[in-house]
Amino acid sequence: MVKRESTAPFLFFILDLPSGISSGLASIALLFILTQAALSVAAAGYIVALGVSANLWRFLWGPVADFTLTRFQFVRRFRRFTQIRSLPELISFHFENLRKSV
């Protein structure tokens, strides 16, 4: 059996599929819905641009992550970032559920 040294292209398709779906929804369906709800095209365009702007940050962050971080460093830092980022949401959900139960 031949050992493969590269990643299969189909795997990249599967990994990018959620991003493409959300980008398509934000740029096509949301724009149509907002303009049908009597919002101006310019205002709807601003909202769509805000939704698609995450792709710009991913594009700019890619080379920095590739050239400066090893895989272990990236996973460790990303895990720490997501833990810190999700902490306020978890606390707010906790207090919201406490308030509803009282």
**Per-residue model confidence as pLDDT tens digits over 20-61:** 887 788 788 888 998 999 999 999 888 888 877 777 777 887
Residue 82 shares a structural domain with residue 63: no
Give one DSSP letter per residue of 52-84, joined into a string.
Answer: HTHHHHHHHHHHHHHHH--HHHHHHHHHHHHHH
Would you give the end-to-end CA distance of the chain in angstroms? 63
Residues 49 and 64 placed together within one structural domain of the fold: yes
Per-residue pLDDT band at 2 (split at 50, 70, 90): low
Residues 57 and 75 in one domain: no
Please give the residue range of the domain that contains residue 29: 18-68
Q: Are 48 and 31 a contacting pair, CB within 8 Å?
A: yes
Mean pLDDT of the region 69-77:
74
Is the pLDDT confidence value at 102 over 70? Answer: no
Q: 4 — alpha (psi -120 to 50), left (phi > 0) or beta?
A: beta
Instruction: Determine the length of the chain.
Output: 102
- Across the chain, mean pLDDT equals 80
- pLDDT, residue 54, reads 73
